[in-house]
Structure formats: C-alpha cells, structure tokens
Amino acid sequence: MLLAFDTATPAITAAVHDGTAVRAESTQVDARRHGELLLPAVDTVLSEAGIKLDAVTGIVVGVGPGPYTGLRVGLVTAAAFGDALGIPVYGVCTLDGIAYAAGRMGDLDGPFVVATDARRKEVYWARYTDPRTRTSDPAVDRPADIADEVAGLPAVGAGAVLYPQVFTGARAHAPQNQSAAALAALAAERLASGADFLPPLPLYLRRPDAQVPAGYKAVMPK
C-alpha cells in the first residue's frame, strides 16, 4: 500500500496505490501553498481509499528537480512519515513521473523530452527513449541554450509549453505538472521488477534564491 506525493511542481498532488491500481488521487495547482495543502491532500486520499495512515507500507515522493521552497515540503513530509511509521521512503525523479503520465496517454512513440518551469527563465529537463526510460540526467538550463538538443522532439511539461519557440514539438494537451497517481503507478512497477530508487533527497540543481548577501556586515559591537 503506497502513499505517493510530490511538491516539486505547482501541483500539490497525492495518491494511494494498492500495488495493483490507484485507489485515490488528489491534485491542486497552487505554486504558493504547498505547505498548506499537502497534508489535507494526504488526508483526502487516505479517506477516499478507505485506509488509515498506519496501513501504508511505503512512501513514494518526488525528489525534483524543483524550486527549493516547494520541493522541501514534500521531502520533509515523506521523511517524517517514513520515520514515524518505520517504513521505506522511495525517491522518484519528478520528471520521470511526468514522462510516465504522458506515456499513459498513448501518443508518444519514440524519444521525447520532459521540461518543467524552473523560473528565472530556465527549465528543468531530461530526455527519454520511452515513458519509463530516462537517458539523460536532469538538468537546468536556459531554453535557448538547449534549442539544438530538443528541436523537433516531442516535448511535454509546463516548461515545454512555456517556450514553444524552442520546444517545437511541445504537446500542449499532455500533462504539464506532476500527477501522484502516475508517480505511484511507476513506483509500483519498479518495486515489482526490483528496480532501484533514488534516495529521498532533493534534486535542486542550483543554489536557493535566498542567500546571505555578499559583503554582509555585523551590526553588533565586538
């Protein structure tokens, strides 16, 4: 019985998967309320699945890449649940979940790209040979810098839709943010096949926005 959630994109998404099928899912899109909305989403999916938290046997969490503030909400929550319940926490790349969700729509045949909005006029992105197989490490780049690498390839995710002049194969109808249902289904497949998981640690790929200013001066007398 897997409880899955992800806060690496503007979606606050949670789901329960029983190893065979998704039992319940909740997704809300609000880039500024991850901390406020995640636990109510978890309560909702547990209730709809007809189970209590102590029935969960594993936590699946999206590890990014994603913005620092949102991403850490999901990872801290996953660590807390795993520790309190004494159950494993499985990390899955957020881009992998979006790729898997897009593949379930049935219109991707051959290599494609997943790209999410990294803000600062950048995207988080990776290449895939199929919806289950990533062939490049997640990266963060300005779209113009990767134009030659992604030109003509089918592309899914909010980053691809945001920069159609670069992601010329962008699929506007494909999933743009994460779906915990897809993340959980992918994790269930990997567990069944004995595949490895990522550690439940954040893939930030760059320094956080908030930093100590250079030339910081102490205000207290020595």
* β-strand pairing of 22-29 with 11-17: antiparallel
Regarding pTM above 0.85, the answer is yes
Distance CA 102, CA 122 (A): 22
Please say if the pLDDT value at position 210 is more than 50: no
Band (185; pLDDT cuts 50, 70, 90)? very high
Average pLDDT over every residue of 185-203: 96
pLDDT tens for residues 81-126? 999 999 999 999 999 999 999 998 877 889 999 999 999 999 999 9
Higher pLDDT, 39 or 68: 39
pLDDT tens track for 11-51? 999 999 999 999 999 999 999 999 999 999 999 999 999 99
Calculate ∠ Cα 58-189-149, nearest 5°.
110
Per-residue confidence (pLDDT) for residue 23, from 0 to 100: 98
